[in-house]
Amino acid sequence: MNMKIILSLFLILNSIVTIIAQEIIVTTDSLMIPEVELGEIVIVASKDKSKLKKLPASVSLISKSLIESNEINSLNQVSNFAANFVMPDYGSKLTSPVYIRGVGSRINSPSVGLYVDNVPFFEKAAFDFDFFDIERIEILRGPQGTLYGRNCMGGLINILTLSPENYQGTNIHITAATYGNYKLNASHYTKLNEKIAFSLSGNYQHGDGFYTNKYFNSKVDEFNSVGLRSKIIYNISKKLTIENIASFDKSDQGGYPYAIFNDSLQKAEDINYNQQSSYDRLLFSNGLKLKYSGNKWELNNTFSYQFLDDVQKIDQDFSPDSLYFVQQFMNQNMISDELIVNSVGNEKYKWLFGAFGFMQVFDKAVEVDVHASDIWYIKNYGLNVSSFALFHQSTLNVTKNLSITAGLRYDYEISELNYKYNMTRGGTELADTDTTYKKLKDYILLPKIALSYQINKSTIYASYTTGYKPGGFNSTFEEPEHLMFKNEMTYNFELGLKTSMFNSFIYSELAGFYTKLQDQQIYRTVPSGRGSYLDNAGLSENTGVEVSVKNRSVKGFQGMIAYGYTHSRILEYVKDSTTNYNDQFTPYIPRHTFAIQLSQLIKLNSISFIDYFKMNASYQQKGVTYWNLDNSYYEETYGLLNAKISFIKNKMQFDIWAKNILNSEYRSFLFEALGNTYVQMGKPMQIGVNISLKF
């Protein structure tokens, strides 16, 4: 049924164009991202310049063309375009979990790694930033612990922004859409001379909000954000290059469009709470990269700094009554350095050696007003985390067709918490503590091995990879045993096929995987219902498959299909004699993801005021998703249909687009707290227009 809707829409659009156009001319598709041959693209995240087709791992490429054609403005809108990749909308940029192959974390540190222009993002609150001038996104599925270490158990997201060495010009992009959404992006890329390239870009967004709070009769999720990015590349000599990338992101967001879920009616009631909630964040990152090329080797060093400062204010009971109000203040400073030396030009044997270290300092405070009891308390956390790692990877081409890749990483991490707690009732002090807890230390070995065999234009591979997520301290705990949680380990077995067909017109990937999670970190609600913490389950497993098909642009036509299936369940998690979660499905993991996209670029000969006409349609589907450990709440399968048409003349482009055209109703989030069930409904249909200018 849904496929018929997509195909019908595309046929209607195609018929309109056929009537208008007297002649369709085959173009070289210069307006589309050049992909020559998909399998020959070098995957930057591989760190050894491996090509997509030869890399023994399941990879999705989200190109600039796909991002622009589908109005993808943030990482959560990439969901489903990559198989088994989901980043749900949980009401604010603070709560930005990412799940790949059923591996993810709702709170605390992420279980999926994120790098932006070589800068690591270790704090999940930084994941949801506004996209502008993105060159492409590489999504590697499965543990990437050997090359990337901590927090890459599910996989890795590598985001690359445009480089002034490869792209020059000035761009202006303006968007206006329903629900008071406006966006302005301006950028300039230039080569000052043969040695120096420079770029500066900025982005502003405003939205009136999609959801209304009945108590105030106003939108609950209004937002404003501004982003800036600069790049400067200095080629000191043919061998030595220095690059600096600085980015700034500031967002002020109303938040938490949560309503009580009525179990008897099986529907959400009105959003209706009396204390304004919000999330404000300032994020700054800077990466300094040095590259030196020798005769048969190359050295790359990246030093980065990241600063995050945010404030969350939340009416935690989400009701018209003044029961609980929480304010959370967090300040993060992080520095990191990665040094890699790798071979160049040796097709028989490739190697790399690397060292990585970071230091992350948190200052966090949580203030809670319990109005009914006239109780106020504050919890202060001073958390210091530091780590050092050494890693190596080799790839040996045993024969013309057979290659072996092996690697090993040693990670040492240490974290220390200073905790202060003060409680008052009616102005009278009830408790005052100041505790420094024993340091937590992790010593981890992360091996990897993969076999790859080439048959004509196909690659068959098998791999064993590992990953881990460090243990740590919970920022909310009401019982002593909930203060700390253990590290989590992931062991992944994978078998895959990559192939090009029909004279490299079609590129496809097929992968099957089995993932074992030991001591999985599970989200739990504290006994009072006012907060959450991480606990360790004994053993979990995920099994599944992924299929993706893309075509090289021919006669202006491009298409892609991505399907992922994940069977994720908890094997061993017994809390007590009455609480047993064995054999339950893991919460927040969709049973499957599916996306199809079709795009057609047509050159018009007979219409003087239009050079090109482009149409794009996509459909994204998410399978059954369970919301809690006992699997009593779940979301049925639902899908979203989107479309966009573009009119292009010289350096100007005008777009009309729509998201969720069928206005599908779905729940993007559901959780239990304080004896209630709360729900956030998905965003309704939205229509917008763009104007883009290039000089």
Exposure of 36 by Cβ count < 10 A (0-12 exposed, 13-18 middle, 19+ buried)?
exposed
pLDDT digits (tens, 9 = 90+) for 607-659: 778 899 999 999 999 999 999 888 999 999 999 999 999 999 999 999 999 99
Mean predicted confidence (pLDDT) in 53-58:
92
Q: Any long-range contacts for 417-423 (C-beta under 8 Å, 24+ apart)? A: 417/381, 417/382, 417/383, 417/473, 418/381, 418/382, 418/383, 419/379, 419/380, 419/381, 419/382, 419/473, 420/378, 420/379, 420/380, 421/377, 421/378, 421/379, 421/380, 422/377, 422/378, 423/375, 423/376, 423/377
Residue 5 above 80 pLDDT? Answer: no
User: Which of 247-251, 476-480, 624-628 is predicted least confidently?
Assistant: 476-480
Identify the pLDDT of residue 482: 74
More confident site: 14 or 407: 407
Rounded to 10 degrees, what is the CA torsion of 54, 56, 102, 256? -40
The set of residues, in sequence order, having a beta carbon less than 8 Å from that of 648 and lying 6+ positions away, is 31, 610, 611, 612, 613, 614
Mean pLDDT of the chain: 89
Polymer length of the chain = 695
Tokens describing residue 131: 């996209």
The set of residues, in sequence order, having a beta carbon less than 8 Å from that of 406 and lying 6+ positions away, is 393, 394, 447, 448, 449, 450
Identify the pLDDT of residue 442: 87
Identify the pLDDT of residue 529: 66
Residue 124: pLDDT band with limits 50, 70, 90: confident
**For residues 66 and 85, what is the distance between their CA atoms, to the nearest angstrom?**
16
Exposure of 649 by Cβ count < 10 A (0-12 exposed, 13-18 middle, 19+ buried)?
middle
User: Which of 318-332, 388-402, 450-464, 468-482 is predicted least confidently?
Assistant: 468-482
Phi, psi (deg, nearest 5) at residue 95: -95, 95
Tokens describing residue 199: 């770029």
Identify the pLDDT of residue 569: 92
Sign of CA dihedral 396, 398, 399, 404: negative
Cβ atoms of 606 and 22 within 8 Å: the answer is yes
Identify the pLDDT of residue 365: 92
Identify the pLDDT of residue 31: 47
Q: Which residues is 434 bridged to in the sheet?
A: 420
Q: Where are the domains of the chain?
A: 2-651+662-694
According to CATH, the topology of domain 2-651+662-694 is Maltoporin; Chain A (2.40.170)
Exposure of 525 by Cβ count < 10 A (0-12 exposed, 13-18 middle, 19+ buried)?
middle
Residues of the chain with pLDDT > 90: what percent? 65
Exposure of 237 by Cβ count < 10 A (0-12 exposed, 13-18 middle, 19+ buried)?
exposed
Identify the pLDDT of residue 372: 80
More confident site: 457 or 480: 457
